[in-house]
Structure formats: structure tokens, C-alpha cells
A and B are shown apart, each in its own frame.
Chain A
Amino acid sequence: MSAPHSVPPPKVLGDPTEQTPPRQLLGGLWIVWLVLSLLAANDLRAWVLADEWLGTQPWALAAVQASAHVAHAAGLSSIGEGLRHWSEHWLPTPSRPRPTQDTPESTPSDTSPEERDSHGRDDTDEALAAAALPNPVPFARSLHRRILLVGASSMQFYLGSELEHELQVSYSGVELMRVGKVSTGLARPDVLDWPQQLERLVGEFHPDIVIGNFGGNDAQNMLLPDGRVLSYGTLGWDEEYRKRVERITVTVQKAGGQMVLIGMPPMRSPSFSLKMQHLNDLTIDAVTKHHGLYLSTWDLAGNGRGHYVKAVTVDGVRGLARLADGQHYSRLGARQVVRGLLPSLEHAFTLVPRDEDQALYLSREIASIALGREVSYGAYIPQRAGARGEGLPVLFLLNGSDGGVDGWPSHAHRALQQLAGLHNILVVTPEGGENGWYVDSPQLPAERYASHLLNEVLLDCDVWLPTNGRRGIAGQATASHGALAIALKNPDLFRSASGMSALLDLPAAREELALVRALGPFAEHTALWNAWSPRQLITRDVAAAKRLALLISVGTDDPWVQTARTLDTELSKLGVTHVFREQAGGRNDWAQWITQLTEHVAFHAQVLGETPGLAARKQ
């Protein structure tokens, strides 16, 4: 630019007088096209099979199949393949995967495949808990996880890099290897045979967890080894795709790892979105059949109603969620999705947060006699626990509303990690069945959640977790009833009880079908209903109520606000010391409960003992 000048005239190379009759050029070009089409017949067929329009045209499929047969018969395809092999011999692909490990003190996984059970789960939980007596945390910090990330372009670029980054910065003892390859998937083994590749990778890296993401390039026709073509959208195709997903899942499990498949998100093109949804369905079937884990991104990357979302806000930065193609994640979009996926990974595998102020999540499974099945519960264990060599108080946070074991962990995982760490309190989230009332049903043997909690979860916690015998119990919505009823019936076991969106007068909920099913119709079983109703329990045994520290909170827009107000008045009249909170505009939903959670955990922590974490922060 320093010496501006005009564009130089085109330089003429070769012979400027060379003139070729067009027919010679065209003849030559058509001959070259014919020969090269046969030499590259397999590539040509693969292109047609993958093309959205050509792949559905019978004439195009027939033409490329015919050219592949001709090339094969004439030996031309083997020349093409021979040339390819020759170049691969001279230019071998370097072994690119590189493990990243930023915890130099950690040692390779000492859990051999033989030490894992048939579900691919290792014995870390027991080992963690066993070492936990009285304090599991030092052992937890030395937990080592080898995680292999595999997949197509998303894994090669932003989804993979963000996942890798977040896993590295969020957890200690994580060793990672990422292998992503554009334009690959499970439908095109001719481009890259992922099952074979995975077999090699798990053999070399010995991962505890393999996280895969496939599908973006898979909604296309498949070529079978025998030369048959399975058209996308047919039952045969679905069956074959399922088999391929199963194959990679089994490959990982045979090597002693656990397969996690991340589903595809909604796409900008509605028709492509439908295809991804279909692939997700097939993947769920196949991966869960072999006890693998499926992580959905449909809501995380969509608007919650299955529609594509173009913009996201992450850490205050608003930007596009996808790249220009409307398919691949942008960095921001990937970051949002990955952050949404991490809690699920923490729930499934014990990953130790690098931030020691965050509690560690441990999932425990117990054989429940009360419920007649295997039941799990979650526990948030403060990492600084036992620093002074003593046990911790426990808050049993019951899962109301839908009562599943994932209720609180899936809606308030990060908040619980912080609160448990801050207050140095164990937070245990037991299962509460479909509705989370936590009653013992005399007629339904499978619904004895109060007994399950009192006789099994409580005992398991005392045996395996560093508890100090001080217990509190809390719940939201239906579980607020469960928490207060169980505490009022067992004032020797609990020191504090609290309810959010408190539903504390069981007879007022006499129309609730789940309760009717569990306790029988109210009119016929009034005594039983009253025996489980906090309001009636308080009236009957005021002394028990006075032994408990009580907190009741409710939103002003909650349909049960009036019953809570009535109970507040009655408690005051009876002289039962309690705290009653009304939140303006609060409803009976997760947003309200998460808002109330901070106060409830702090309340229990204060009642159950000192809060050194909090005290330290305040100082």
C-alpha cells in the first residue's frame, strides 16, 4: 500500500496463441468425467446418499448404484481405493487425540473394569462413603475421572471445546481427551467408522466416562457393507441406526466405562429439526437399553416448547446461539448448553467441584424394604466438612410437587451446592414418589415414603455420611406437609422443620386424588387423614410442636395461602414459637421455592448448629 499503483494487467503465461476447438475440450471433459466418476464411484455414491434431495430420488440412487457396480466389475473402484490406500500409507493420519490433565497430583484411574458392576458403575460411591467415616472429603478430592469426548463437528468445535473447558475448570481430578471429526456420524462409516474408532480410543485411554454427540450428519441414507442402501425414514433404517448406537454403548461398557450421549438440539430448519427429534428418540431407546445415559439438549438449546432459539444470554452477554448454518452451536450457545448439562453429569457421576465452597453431590442407592425396590437419594456434602474433625447436621429436603428424586437437584442444584457449602450442612434429598406427600399408605405397599425416610434413608445417612445426629426437615408444596407431619410425629429425631408454599391442612386437600389413593376417601378415613395432617397433629400434641423450630413460608398468590395463614394464627394462639413468611406475589412453583430455599437452609443451619462457613464469610 505504500506505493499505490493501478492493478497490473493479467500476466499471460504459456502460449497466448494456443487455441483449442470447443469440441475437443468438451469431448475431453466428458471422457474425464466418465472415467473419474467410475474411479470415484464410491465417493460419488456417498455424496448422492448424503444429499437431501438426490438421496430421495430413485433414479439418482439407481444411477450411482449402477456406476458403483460397473466400477467394481471393471476393477476401477479398486484402483481408486488402491490410490487412496497408497496416499494413506504415505501420509498417515497422526494420532491427534491428546489427553488434557491439569491436576498433576492426580493419578490414573485405579478402578479396573473388573471392579465395576454390571451397570458399568464403579464402586466409587461405596469407596467414597466408606472412606467418609467420619469424613469423605479428603478421599473425594482425590477422585479421578477419565472422560473421553467424542463426536462430529459440534464436538470438534464449540460444544466440545466448551464441554472440555467447563469440565476442566469446574472439577478437580478430571482427565480429558477430545476427539471430534467434522462430517462424521454413525450413518457414514465410510467417512469414519466411529464404533471401530471408539474401540481403539477406549482401549488406549481407558475412560471412566465417554460423552458422545452424534446425529447432525446422520439423517441420510445408509450404505450397508453388503452394498444395500437403507433409505432414511424407513423402519429398516431406524433399526440399523439403533444398532449402531447400541454398538458404541456396549463397546464403552465392555471396556468398563459409562456411555453418555448428548442429544441433538432443535434446528433452524423445521424439517431438519424433525429429523433430529427422530434421531434423538432412536438414541434414547438404544442408549438407555444398555444402561447408558442420555442427556437432552432439546429444552436447553430450544425455547422449552421444542422450537429453535436464535439468541442466548450467558454471563450477561447476549448473542447468537448458533452459527450461520442454524445448526452448530456458537461459543455462547454451547456454553449455555454445557452449563445446563453439567448438573446431570454431576448427578450421574461423582464429580468433585474444584471450588471447595461448593458441596459435592453424591447419589446413593439403597434396597428399600419399605418401598420394595431400589431407591436412590441425593446428598450434598460440603467439601470443607470435617475440617474440624466433627460430623455435620443434616437437612432432609423433601421433594414435593412431583416428588421424584431429581426434583430439588434438577431445579436448584447450584443453589444447593452453594448453600450446603456455605452453611456446612449436609442436604439430603430423598425420593417422595409421584406426588411427594410422604405418607405411609395402609393400602398401597409401594407408597410408604415416611417409613422409607425414617427407617432407611435416615439410617443410611447416619452410617455412610458424616452426620452429627442433628436433623432438620424441609419440603415444598406437598412435601411441606410431609416435612412437618414427619417432624411432628417424630420430635425426638428432628430439631427443625419447615415448609415452602406450605400445604399443612390435609383435610383441606381431600379432593387430591393421590392422597385419596394413598389414605382412602376422607369421609371414610378421617382419622387417618387427621393423623397425617400437620394442623391436626399440632392441635393434638402442642408439646411436640413446641420442641421443634418451625418455619412456614408461602406466596401471596399461592392457592393455599389461606390455610397457611390460618395455621399461623392457630400456632400463635397455642403459643408455639414459629416463623411465618409471606412473599408478595409468590406462587406455588419452582421459581418461588428456589427463592425461599436460601432462607430455609439458613434457618435449619442456625437451629442445628453453628454456621462456621457463614460466620467466616461475615467476618
Chain B
Amino acid sequence: MSFPTFAFAYFFLLTITGYWLLQGRRTAQKVLLLGASYVFYAGWDLTLFCLLAGVSYIDWVISEAIVKARGTPRARRLLALGIACNLALLCVFKLYDFFRESLDTLTRLFGVSSHLPVLEILLPVGLSFYTFQGLAYLIDTYRGTAYRARSMLDFLLFMAFFPKLLAGPICRSYQLLPQLTSDGPTEVPELSRAVTLIVTGLFKKIVLASLLATRLVDDAFATPSHYSPRELVVAVYAYSVQIYFDFSGYTDMARGLALLLGFELPENFAYPYAATDLGAYWRRWHMTFSSWLREYIYFPLGGSRVAPLRVYFNLFVTFLVCGIWHGSRWTFVLWGGIHGVGLAVHRAYRDVRRRYGFTGKPGPLFLCFGWAATLSFCAFARIPFKAPEIETAGEFVRAMFAADAHSDRSVDLVVVVVTVLGVVLNFVGRPIFEAVVQAHARVPTYWRPVAWVAAGALLFALKTQDVAPYIYFGF
């Protein structure tokens, strides 16, 4: 079940009705939400429910054992076991084929075959998100910094809560568990914000992202030789905007839906295309994931409190992991590597500036240059990210430099407008969003359904014919 579908609309309507009808009976509400979350997940594949429930149960049992063994060597061994279980799942479901193909390619160079079987393993949607959430909980429990779940029910719901199950935000224990252990709100908090988030999320996904995908991006990346270099350059930026609308649209909906149920989920995006350097970009893009990487990969490697060369290495390694997390393809490794190198270079540049005493604030011209360079770097680095294979990425780049190809063709103006709009919204989005929230709050209660119907009808009219699944469901 994806958010912008009839199936989900019915599912959510029934769930929220049941949830608020059970108001005052917190345990019953949580049982309902857990059941609904499992039904929601089983809607993709029945066996996935077993996987999710199994992982959650294992993480819960191990985390409780860690608490009991805290301060002893056993706790460390239990943590290692928990990490191994979660990573094993990721490796089997996500990385096996990548490993097999890579080994096969390597062994073919020596004229032999690896003979590893080709397993058709179904990638469970959301696996990377909830295993990372489970890992964070286990590590935090070992460190003693986790907000502990009071019961298994709370923990299972913490792992499976359906608005954030498939593509995050990746919640840390202190962000969601306190809300689960509390008595819960008696009234719906911040309805205006919730509604605005849902409508914004839908608009971003079913109108803007789909429009870019169907009018240019998908086809341009599938058959770059059909397009002029000018169109391909537009497609590169358009894809960056598409993925932003797609993923931030999902997050907006997740947060809005959770809010209607009385839960606050963390923000995942802070207008990333307004960033003026790569470091700032990663503090604004997929924030819950980048903070996870920082906490559990970058810091344990030594973070930035080591020698400069080691810092650059740490950044590179962290972003290689970031790339591999996205999927079992060399294109993701390449994308992660590009960002790792980019961040290391940016860090080196900052170190050099600091060493020579340039500590003042950069001027507006420099900021403009930084913004354009960051945006372009992120956009062009996504060529391998979008391409299914390295060769396809190569084809795309070659086609971008095929000077005389299809030079007579004009670029679709709608795509250009939406792409520019996508970038501009990163600068003016927050005040617009706040204005809409305020406007909704001023609408009299009994007129609100009229406003919702109007928004729904407008979305229905503007939505593209076919809305593809969310991009991050594939990671």
C-alpha cells in the first residue's frame, strides 16, 4: 500500500476511525496501530510481515538482555549478536546479489566462475529503514542512552508504526518511544499542520514529482540517445528536484498522517537545495539517515577529532556506506564515493582556509557560487544514482556531450518551470508553508471539510495519469 492510492485511503480512514474511537484506552489504541501496521506491511507481501515481526522481536529480546547484562562483557557480545543479526538480514536481502555479481565479474577476469547461485531474493520494502532503526536502538541501549521501551508492544510499534515504516523518517528511541509510552493526546494536535503536510506531500508526489518523471526524467535516463544534450542537462536537474519532491513528499505525508494520530515524527528535510556547501546539504537532506551515519559510522571511526587525512578518510568511508545502503549496485557505490570525495575536498578546503586565517563570513557572491556549485554537484552526482548500471550512466554522460544530437528539439517548458519551482521552493517554502497552516487554522471548523474537498479535487485534477511508487521504497 502506497500513500497516494485508494487502498491506503480506505485503510487509513478505517484505522484512524478505530484509533480515535478507542481514545482513553491506550493499550487498545496501540494494539490497533500495531495490527494496522502489520496489515499495511503485509499488503506488499504476506511474508514481509513475518520478517518485520521477527526482526522486531529479536531486537527486543537482545536489547532487554543487554540491559540486564550492562557493565559486563556479555553486554558487548549481545550487542555484537544484535548487530550481526540485523546486518545479516541486510546482507542476505539487499547485498547478496551485489556480492555475487561482483565476485563473478572478478573471477571471470581469471577465467573461472564463482558458481554462487543466483537467488531471486525479494527486497523487503522498508528493510533498510527499520533495521537501521533497530540497530540504533540496540547501540543506544548498550551505551545507556536509549529511551527504553516500557513493553514489547511499545517496541514492536516503535519498529512498525506504519506512517514511517516504508521510507522513514528513521526514528531514534527518544523521538518516538516517549510518545508511545505516554497516555496519548485526548484531542487531535495541530490539525492545520497535519492537513497542510498531507496536502503538500500529495502535491509534491502525485503532481510535481510525477510530472517531472513522466514528461522527461524517466525516459531521458532510460534512452539518453533520444535526447539533446540540452534536454539531458535539464533532466539531470529535473531528477534532483523530482527525487526531492518524491522523498520529501513521502516524509510530509508520513508526518502529517502521524500527526492526525497524535504522533510527532522528526523532520527529514530542511530545504536542502538552499545549501551553499556540501556539508550543509547533508545536514538538510534525509536528515534522520545522515544523523544515523554520523552517530554510528562517522563518530566510531574517529569523526573529526583525528588527523586531517584520517578525517577525510572517515568521510569517504561513511559515504561509501551511505551509497551501499541505497542498494546493491555499483552505481550507488560510485554515487556514495563521489559524495565522500566531495565532502573530503570541502573539508580540506575549510581546513586550508582556517590555517591561513580566513575565518570571516563569505560574501554574497561567494555564497551564490557555493549554492550553484553544491546544487550542480548533487545533481550531476545523481547520474549514477539514477542509472541502473555504470554503463547506462556512461551512456548518459556520452549523450550529454554528443554535440549535434537532436539539436533541433526544444526542452519541455513545463519541466523547466517545475524544476525551477522546485529549487525556488527551497528558499521560500517555509514561509509559504507557514502561511498555509495559518490560513487553514483560520478556516471555521465546519468549513474545513469544504476546503479539504477542494484541495482533494484540485489534486485529483492535477495528478498525472500514472503515479509511480516512491523512489525510496526501492532502497
Contact = CB atoms under 8 A, between A and B. Distances in A.
B437 interface: yes
Interface stretch (B13-21, B48-56, B63-71, B153-161): B13-21
Contacts of A11: 267
Given A22-B20, A94-B215, A40 B460 contact: yes
A1 B290 contact: yes
B457 A87 contact: no
Residue from A3, A157, A178 with most neighbouring chain B CB atoms (10 Å): A3
A139 interface: no
Contact of A7 (B288, B298, B303, B412): B288
Interface in A187-237: 191-192
A318 B119 CA distance: 11
B343 A2 contact: yes
Nearest to A91: B414
B460 A36 contact: yes
B97 A320 contact: yes
Contact of A87 (B16, B188, B266, B462): B462
Contacts of A91: 211, 414, 462
Interface stretch (A13-21, A290-298, A355-363, A606-614): A13-21
Interface string A298-329: 00000000000011000011111010101000
A35 interface: yes
Interface in B183-235: 185, 187-193, 196, 211, 215, 218-219, 222-223, 225-227
Contact of B226 (A80, A100, A316): A100
A182 B468 contact: yes
Contact of B304 (A2, A8, A15): A2
A4 B304 contact: yes
Assign chain B's interface to a size class. Answer: 35 or more
Given A19-B187, A161-B223, A324 B123 contact: yes
A59 interface: no
A439 interface: no
B193 A28 contact: no
B398 interface: no
A84 interface: yes
Contacts of B403: none
A20 B287 contact: no
A351 B88 CA distance: 51
Contact of B437 (A5, A14, A326): A14
A19 B461 CA distance: 31
A58 interface: no
Nearest to A102: B225
A293 B367 CA distance: 62
A32 B449 contact: yes
Interface in B79-136: 97, 101, 104-105, 108, 113, 118, 120, 122-123
A32 B222 contact: no
A618 interface: no
Interface in B430-466: 433-434, 437-438, 441, 445, 448-449, 452-453, 456-458, 460-462, 465-466
A83 interface: yes
A572 interface: no
Interface in B393-447: 406, 409, 412, 414, 433-434, 437-438, 441, 445
Contacts of B346: 2
A573 interface: no
Contacts of A21: 187-188
A18 B191 contact: yes
A22 B120 contact: no
B215 A35 contact: no
Interface string A157-183: 100010010000000000000100111
A388 interface: no
Interface in A415-430: none
Given A10-B264, A21-B187, A98-B406, A320 B293 contact: no
Interface in A94-109: 94, 96, 98, 100
A15 B304 CA distance: 39
B298 A39 contact: no
B6 A4 contact: no
Contacts of B326: none
A584 interface: no
A15 B439 CA distance: 11
A318 B104 contact: yes
Given A13-B437, A98-B406, A100-B225, A311 B118 contact: yes
A326 to B, nearest CB: 7
A368 to B, nearest CB: 45
A28 B445 CA distance: 9
Given A1-B298, A31-B449, A156-B222, A6 B438 contact: no
A178 B260 contact: no
A272 interface: no
B15 to A, nearest CB: 11
Contact of B122 (A164, A311, A324): A324
Contacts of B441: 14-15, 18
A205 to B, nearest CB: 14
Contacts of A51: 7
28 contacts: A2-B315, A2-B346, A3-B283, A5-B291, A8-B287, A10-B264, A10-B267, A14-B434, A14-B437, A14-B438, A15-B438, A21-B187, A25-B20, A25-B191, A29-B17, A32-B453, A39-B456, A91-B414, A96-B219, A183-B466, A191-B466, A192-B465, A268-B120, A310-B120, A316-B108, A317-B104, A324-B122, A331-B388
Top 8 A-B pairs, shortest CB-CB distance: A83-B461, A311-B118, A2-B279, A22-B20, A14-B437, A310-B120, A19-B187, A28-B449
Given A7-B172, A14-B196, 4 more contacts: A10-B266, A12-B190, A14-B437, A24-B445
Interface of A: 1-8, 10-16, 18-33, 35-36, 39-40, 43-44, 47, 51, 79-80, 83-84, 86-87, 91, 93-94, 96, 98, 100, 156-157, 161, 164, 178, 181-183, 191-192, 268, 310-311, 316-320, 322, 324, 326, 331
